[in-house]
Chains A and B, each alone.
Chain A
Amino acid sequence: MVNARSKRRSYLSFVLPAFIIYATIMVFPLVFTLGLSFTKWKGFGPIEFVGLQNYVRLLSDPVFHIGLRNNILIVLISVFGQIPLGFLLAYMLHRRMVKGAKLFEIMIFLPITISSVIVAQLWNRVFAPVGILPTIIRQITGNQDYIMKIFESKDFAFVPIMFVLLWQHTSLYMVIFLANLQRIPESIIEAAKIEGANEGTIFLKIIAPILAPVAFINSILAISGSFKSFDLIYSMTGGGPAHFTEVMAVYMYNTTFVFQNYGYGSAISIVIILFIVLAIWLTKVMTNRLNMG
């Protein structure tokens, strides 16, 4: 009896502090945000309960729709751009397919070490009407009015941002793949070669199966990171021009803290969380099916 009580105490003494911290910084804000999403509140004064009004507004809010579309584009460029490219680069470096692998490793890894705000400023100085790229093109073409019109296109203004995201974040996945590739014993590859396996067979039969769980983890990182995308876009375009490069997190931030519409901002936050959970669940289902297949 005493032993059981003592065990429970020990258990609680280990678990409770972590649980309290988790509840304080994760559960409470989440529940509070969920509660606020059913209200109209300016951040001060009386809180007015409005039921599902904020969620209904989301359905017909064109700015939110642009944000959602752009977030989905980030997920696509992350999962189908950054991860495969990261893997390709890691594979090439690991299999020593290029000379000076270490140099390339450092070069590719560098962007992820730079603050997103600095990356945004850097690329702004490339793309801006007075930036390097339009200036060079003006010199070459003689067209003094040349600017990067793509930034003023409702459909394509987000493409340059996707390019910068690809440039900045691919290295993270490359490093994760590279670290896992380095864990594969060289003897297995050598044995496969002695058995007559070519590069394609080694990749399909040895490397790909070993790295499948890593790809899954990378996908989760990519998806959750994609829906949270904020710093680079906020610094690079602030969602403009005319909301063309809006993403949900930037819209949520502006709605909540700039427009002081805490209720609607909270509803956007809850939808972001739901999208993250849904996307990760879908990834898990698809990975399980692929593994079973």
Chain B
Amino acid sequence: MAVVVIKEQCNGCEACLDSCPYDAIEMVDGVAWINEKCTICLACIEACPVEAIIQEESTVELPELDRGSYSGDWVFAEQRGGRISSVVHELLGAGRSLADTTGEKLSAVLLGHDMEAAARELVHRGADEVIYVDDEALAGFNDGPYASVLSDLIEEGRPSIVLAGATFMGRSFIPMVASRVNTGLTADCTALDIDPETGDLLQTRPAFGGNIMATIICPRHRPQMATVRHKVLPAFPNDPHRKGEVRIIRGLDKTRMDGRTEVLEVVEEILDTVNLAEADIIVSGGRGLGGPEGFKTVEELALLLGGAVGASRSAVDSGWIPYSHQVGQTGKTVQPKLYIACGISGAVQHLAGMQASDVIVAINKDADAPIFDVATYGLVGDLFQIIPQIIRSVKTARGQV
């Protein structure tokens, strides 16, 4: 299988040349030619205005998939310290609508210890069934046991879809599970759907730092596995009257619990680590703040709004604020309801980490700064004058002045 140019159809417009991130297209005799640098990313297919670039179908005989023998949608119910992570409610929301579309059952899989009440609550959150594996060795997260237990459950239960949060935990051990059960895995999805024709799961995710979106399928393997980005999909509303079944599994074979790795200590750094991924409001500062003191203004606004403080890489590299605050391609990806960018130019790497926010406010004295391209509200001017005025207006609106 490869990407090829239909020579007769190519009009030599060169639109594909610019679309290729790998420099893999050349013009030969007036038509496009794809060289060996091609990684089959398919960017050119979309760029071609005359549909002269196609993906050649495979000539290799591939085994048929017995779709009928897999059914049900599973959600991995991540927990930390006995508390279900909030991303699980979103996964159950997404899983619920997929299961309703295909008419299948939605199950939540919980690995933990002494969590029966929390297990039952997953029914209220949208699950038809909860598979709860209770074992002391599963109380805290450890890649090995988690991967073994979940892959065993998958091999036995043969679900059609398995979803997990794109959290540190999910992105750590779910690739291992997918590898073990020999199936594909799509990372960090922001939209999920069922293809009405094939019934396959359409998994949409950003790539190239959010510059392009790709819809991924897993047509010949089951289950179809995806990690899902936090705070993107709506949670299932809590309904205490929902009925469902809780299956508790105890006394698992101890050899499945052998992690080889051992977690010796868990250190929470709540005080100096901002959980940007959880915040509904983020106020971020960039080089325009001029120095570490500039962050005082930003912090004041964040505090007033009950939000977290973010930063651009320039601000972090200048040593004005720790790396844990960095938003962007090499920092954190966030998707709050409100993102206020102060003195940030809006380089693509920064945009990659925040452009999916619901509402973006940009404050910048350069009217041509690219941040304004993605802003819902653009305020052109000096942030040192504007932010104090915003603080005043918010206080006035709340009757605090």
Q: Is A bound to B? A: no
